[in-house]
Amino acid sequence: MATPYSKGLEGVVAAETKMSFIDGEKGILEYVGIPIGQLAEHSTFEETVFLLWNSRLPKKGELADFTATIRGLYDLPEQIEAMLTRLPKDAQPMHAMRTLVSALGLIDPKPNATDVPTVRQKAVKILACVPTMLAYFHRHRQGLPLIRPDASLSIAENFLYMLNGAKPTPTMARAMDVCLILHTDHGLNNSTFSARVVISTLSDIYSAMTAAVGSLRGPLHGGANEGVMVMLNEIPTVDGAEAYILDKLARKDKIMGFGHRVYKSYDPRATHLKVLAKQLAQDTGNMDLYEKSSRIEKTMAEAVAAKGIYPNVDFYSATTYHCIGLPLDLFTPMFVIARVGGWAAHIIEQLSDNRLFRPDVDYTGPHAVNYTPIDSR
């Protein structure tokens, strides 16, 4: 009996995990059983990463130790910093990030280790360095001096500090932290699957992370939030939003930030980002942008909600990132900062009970075709 074919592997279970649980029909997302809303309200990015890596929340001392370890690794190795400052200033940030994550393997004396304790150590280093890489690259391309990390700050606070040269307001810092929490993990998404496939060969964490960054760059995955901002910028006024969306729907164009492969109800991450986006828009004088988003959501609700098409995580994250002051081409790299925590968790989980991914393929080509000599073609 032939194995059933599922295009895009839809509906195929390829791994077991103890990390994130998703019920797309009910709009539920849990990390190790904890609803994402509780984590967004009470937790921090660092604590969320500990939760995913250890399948439990840390005790107070454990969190303090874990946080201190991360902060002690914010500084980039000098070889990586030197490489970064020689990158072309017009390089796209996601290509820079992919290159720099890969380069960390060049200076690791034991880059190929796949035992779990060693991989966890490497994962902490990557988690700490990625925000520094992104902030440094952005300042490098602007011709601005690099701002050294501040080990007294959280990952979210320190990234914004290094990026802008000033410590963020508490509202911006918390918004960034919540964004990181909401983006940390999401089942066997494309980039996470890429990381697990690569590490299943017993390659190395740098190769697995590099593959994941490459996957995330695509506009059908992490790049979608940039598309949302492009769409918002194309709409001249709040009152013009409805006509813009209806016109795109009539032409059967994709509306960026709506619909999800998994969710057939409101994406629970979008619920929290919507609240953040409104608060930040009020604080930063961007209510016009938020009102555009609200008008788009209202129009889409009336037109396609019955088909199970609702805002996804990208829709309000675009407004949130804009209000924080991030340039458009840093939206997807911000996703990398968060998702490194999730990718590492899956890499560790895969190595703990590994089996090489090797799916079958249905051949649909011809058979028994005779070779034609080149002079007869």
| Residue positions annotated with a catalytic role | 221, 260, 314
CA atoms of 129 and 162, how far apart (whole Å): 12
20-23 and 34-35 as β-strands: parallel, antiparallel, unpaired?
unpaired
Count CA atoms within 13 Å of residue 81 on its CB side.
15
Contact present, 151 and 71 (Cβ < 8 Å): yes
CA atoms of 27 and 21, how far apart (whole Å): 11
The number of angstroms, rounded, from the C-alpha of 138 to the middle of its chain's C-alpha atoms is 18
CA atoms of 313 and 304, how far apart (whole Å): 17
- What is the amino acid identity at position 351? L
- What is the amino acid identity at position 38? Q
Q: Which two tokens stand for residue 283?
A: 């604080």
Q: Which two tokens stand for residue 164?
A: 């802008």
For residue 311, the cross-strand partners are: 258
Question: How is residue 311 annotated by DSSP?
Answer: B
CA atoms of 337 and 334, how far apart (whole Å): 5
Instruction: Give the CA distances from residue 97 to residues 93, 143, 208, 350, 352, in Å, rounded to whole numbers and listed in that order.
Output: 6, 18, 14, 24, 27
- Residue 15 φ/ψ, nearest 5 degrees: -160, 160
Q: Which of 140, 77, 135, 137 is nearest to 106 (CA)?
A: 77
